[in-house]
Amino acid sequence: MYSLILLLPILSFIFTFFFGQYWGREKSIKIAIFIQSLSLLIIVGCYFEIILSQSSILLIIFDWFFIDIFNIHFCIFLDTLTCGMLLIVFFISFCVNIFSIGYMSHDPFIVRFFSYLSLFVFLCYF
């Protein structure tokens, strides 16, 4: 479940960027908003779970560099500070997504805008 925090925004970018023109404006925007809201709900659940259990989570994605005893992992570390910042960033990006529906309604490249917005949310995690 915790890896979905990292996975959902990049999936939203891939779906809207590569398939958005085929699906049309309305369906692409709905998919991007749905995935962003799903990410926000997962982060809210993760935040409350970490606060209630008073612990942190280390999720190792893959080994990036390995020499004998020297090991560097690509991992996700979730504690109360990280989840709090993720909650703020994802909530603001969700509000920007909702606001952009009306503000960018006249733009012919709105699908590209929503795909780049999803990529920005993915990159905010790092």
pLDDT at residue 41 in the model: 93
Task: Select from 81, 104, 126 the least CA-distant residue to 29.
Answer: 104
**Chain centroid to CA 102: how far?**
22
Please name the residue ranges forming H helices in the chain.
3-23, 25-53, 80-103, 110-124
Residues 73-83, mean pLDDT to the nearest whole number:
86
pLDDT at residue 99 in the model: 92
Of all residues in the chain, what percent carry a pLDDT higher than 90? Answer: 18
pLDDT at residue 14 in the model: 92
pLDDT at residue 126 in the model: 67
Residues 39-58, mean pLDDT to the nearest whole number:
89
